[in-house]
Every structure is written in C-alpha cells, then in structure tokens.
Amino acid sequence: MPEPYRVTFVCTGNICRSPIAEWVLRHHVEQEGLDVEVDSSGTGGWHVGDGADDRAVRALSAGGYHSAHSARQFEPLWFARYDLIVALDQGHLRALRSMAPDEQARSKVRLLREFDPDAGDDLDVPDPYYGADDGFDHVLGLVEAAVPGLLETIREELKERR
C-alpha cells in the first residue's frame, strides 16, 4: 500500500494562519476520503505546545470546521517527510527554502495563494494576530479560496502515484 500524501502548512508561530489552513484542508480531504495527512507548524518556536489562538478557533467554528491543535516548530529534517510544504507568506517561503537541504526539498515549498487563480499578485496571507477578530475571518476566506486548487494538485499527485 502506498504511503499517504503528506502536507504541512507553515506560518510564523503556528497559532493563527497555519492551523486555519490545516483544519480547512483536513475537512476537505476527509470529506473526499483522500489518503492525505495534514498538519502545520511555524518557523519560530515561541508558541510550541500552545493551542491555536482563540480567534482562529472561533473563525474555524463559525465556518463549520472543528480543530484541535498544539503548536510546533518546523524542523529541517522534516523535508523528507512531506510531499508538499505550504508557506502562508513570502517570509515563510524564504525561511523554508533557506532551510532546505537541496533543490528537491526547496521544490516542495509553495505559497498557499498560488493555488487560488483569483489571487492576483498578492500571494501573502496576512498575519491577523495583532488585529481584530475580522482578520481571522479574512484569513479563513483566503484559505477557502485556495483550497480547491490545492486539492486539485493533491488529486493529480495521488493519481501519478498509482
């Protein structure tokens, strides 16, 4: 039996953007019955072990998603574990690519909004942490807009494995 396809989302502290993206994608892959493992992490370690920000949890709940989360920091050794590493903004993209041991690992790193055909030139998902609650709703909307394209990419890669 082939290994599951593995996706991780990466933001700064792993308490806002990446947990939102993780749980939205988890919801969709579970609904479709896809053999995909989804998780998330942060480029920094100051929130390791913390739950998701309460505002992120509320936005997910209002959107019909559930969540359970414990923040962790992305480790360079994990490049071998994942098929796709999804950065939430350009800073995360640069940080992850600089950690990558080789070109093959660097090629696994993509920006989430690359999967949204309507994203235009602004491919960053803004950090809602220092703003109001509606920033988390905005992040959820950006994630939901990118997930159909991300799912299409995952489906294609799963077909290629067969």
Domains, the chain, ordered by start: 5-161 (3.40.50.2300)
Q: Rounded to whole angstroms, what are the CA distances from 25 to 46, 108, 115?
A: 25, 17, 13
Active site residue 106: no
Q: What's the CA gap between 151 and 149, in Å, rounded?
A: 5
Pick the catalytic residue: 50, 83, 127, 137? Answer: 127
pLDDT tens digits, one per residue of 35-52: 999 999 999 999 999 999
Tell me which DSSP letter residue 3 carries. Answer: P
Pick the catalytic residue: 16, 17, 26, 124? Answer: 17
More confident residue, 103 or 162: 103
Output the DSSP codes for 56-114: HHHHHHHTT--------B--GGGGGT-SEEEESSHHHHHHHHHH-SSHHHHTTEEEGGG
- State yes or no: pLDDT of 161 exceeds 90: no
Nearest to 87 by CA among 3, 7, 152, 5: 7
pLDDT tens digits, one per residue of 67-111: 899 999 999 999 999 999 999 999 999 999 999 999 999 999 999
Element (H, E) at 55: helix 54-62
pLDDT tens digits, one per residue of 2-20: 799 999 999 999 999 999 9
Question: How high is the pLDDT of residue 4?
Answer: 95
Lookup: tokens for 62: 């209002």
Q: Please, what is the average pLDDT of the chain?
A: 96
Question: How high is the pLDDT of residue 95?
Answer: 98
Nearest to 112 by CA among 123, 99, 100: 123
- State yes or no: pLDDT of 1 exceeds 70: no
Active site residue 53: no
Active site residue 11: yes
pLDDT tens digits, one per residue of 22-32: 999 999 999 99
Pick the catalytic residue: 11, 16, 53, 113? Answer: 11
